């Protein structure tokens, strides 16, 4: 299989290192200093299994990398339109594209019959451009429970177990899904295939939305957010609102609220990806992680007032940070 990682952030480097160390030739689409380091030093990962380092074929040109059989899109949601446009020379008729992006996916209303079938989610794809760039037949959905931090442009560190859940967006169990599962599992990552990928999406969205925006407001780690008595009651209120929205779409979140809070606290003194982005002056994934969820809730008559207030605070704080970051 011709495999490409599009995006060399913490998750992209984690997957690239695991794939390359398992013996798969890995192409990486990157640019700038990241590209230079990948070409000179390869990709590095420190995780619970030790230190991994491997060579990859890195380029800033999709044309140079050529058609790919499997593309893992490991980018932040604000960069999706640009990255998916850049990927076009890599697509052939049977290319599989797995977006590994936080939040509600742009394809949420594709693949299944519903009252909102094939509609766009305005918060993340108002003009349907993402759906045009990557037609639905290319897509496999994914939810990645990997916490990773970037130590250098080509170096990631992860202190928790790796888990990926993948599924067809039409909820079928297919041969290609199983083939991808087996390939990824060879890397040592736990990979599960599911026929209800949207349940898993809501589970991850719940984790993202109860932690990421509030971490920017408070600077707190996951352990503090879910366990500190000053913060955890607010987290629980957001959790209740998200669970209600998920239930309105028929999704099943497999953890009760108490267990969910305990699992969040058990992640330890880890900064959320959104807090890391904020500290480095990068755009935040508020549209996919926050506003898209509020939009979905509004479509079924739910208001999510606490979540809205936290999102507004996060936007205000992020707006105060940007001038200093660019100065």
Catalytic annotation, residues: 204
- For 10-30, letters b (16+ CB in 10 Å) and e give bbbbbbbbbbbbbebebbbbb
Number of Cβ within 10 Å of residue 70's Cβ equals 21
For residue 150, how many C-alpha atoms fall within 13 Å in the half-sphere facing its CB? 18
Distance between CA atoms of residues 224 and 265, nearest Å: 7
Q: Where are the alpha helices (DSSP H) in the chain?
A: 10-21, 32-41, 62-65, 80-86, 129-133, 175-185, 197-218, 222-227, 232-248, 257-265, 273-279, 286, 292-299, 305-326
Residue 85 near residue 128, CB atoms below 8 Å: no
- For 86-98, letters b (16+ CB in 10 Å) and e give bbeebbeeebbbb
Distance between CA atoms of residues 94 and 188, nearest Å: 26
Sign of the dihedral through C-alpha 8, 104, 66, 27: positive
3-state secondary structure of 273: helix
Which residues does residue 216 pair with via DSSP β-bridges, in sequence order? none
Q: Among all chains, which residue has been given the structure tokens 């990157």?
A: 30
Distance between CA atoms of residues 281 and 284, nearest Å: 9
Q: Among all chains, which residue has been given the structure tokens 């960069």?
A: 79
Pairing of β 190-193 and β 155-157: unpaired
Q: What is the per-residue DSSP string for 148-204? A: -EEEETTEEE--S--EEEEEETT----HHHHHHHHHHHTTT-EEEE-S-HHHHHHHH
């Amino acid at each position: 299989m011709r495999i490409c990682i599009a995006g060399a952030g913490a998750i992209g480097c984690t997957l690239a290192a695991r794939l390359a160390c398992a013996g798969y030739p890995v192409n990486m689409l990157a640019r700038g200093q990241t590209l230079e380091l990948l070409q000179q030093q390869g990709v590095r990962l420190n995780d619970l299994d030790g230190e991994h380092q491997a060579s990859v074929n890195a380029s800033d040109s999709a044309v140079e990398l050529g058609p790919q059989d499997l593309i893992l899109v490991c980018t932040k949601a604000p960069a999706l339109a640009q990255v998916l446009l850049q990927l076009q020379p890599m697509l052939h008729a049977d290319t599989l594209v797995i977006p590994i992006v936080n939040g509600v996916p742009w394809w949420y209303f594709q693949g299944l019959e519903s009252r909102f079938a094939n509609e766009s989610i305005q918060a993340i794809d108002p003009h349907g451009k993402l759906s045009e760039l990557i037609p639905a037949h290319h897509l496999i959905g994914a939810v990645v429970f990997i916490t990773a931090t970037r130590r250098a442009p080509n170096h990631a560190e992860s202190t928790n177990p790796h888990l990926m859940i993948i599924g067809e967006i039409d909820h079928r169990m297919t041969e290609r899904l199983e083939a991808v599962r087996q390939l990824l599992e060879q890397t040592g990552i736990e990979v599960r295939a599911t026929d209800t990928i949207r349940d898993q999406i809501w589970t991850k969205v719940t984790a993202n939305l109860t932690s990421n925006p509030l971490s920017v407001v408070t600077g707190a780690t996951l352990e503090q957010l879910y366990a500190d008595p000053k913060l955890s009651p607010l987290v629980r209120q957001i959790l209740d609102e998200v669970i209600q929205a998920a239930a309105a779409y028929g999704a099943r979140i497999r953890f009760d609220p108490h267990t969910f809070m305990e699992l969040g606290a058990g992640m330890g003194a880890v900064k959320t990806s959104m807090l890391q982005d904020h500290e480095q002056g990068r755009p935040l994934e508020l549209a996919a992680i926050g506003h898209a969820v509020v939009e979905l809730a509004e479509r079924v008559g739910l208001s999510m007032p606490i979540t809205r207030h936290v999102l507004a605070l996060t936007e205000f704080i992020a707006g105060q940070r940007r001038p200093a970051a660019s100065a």
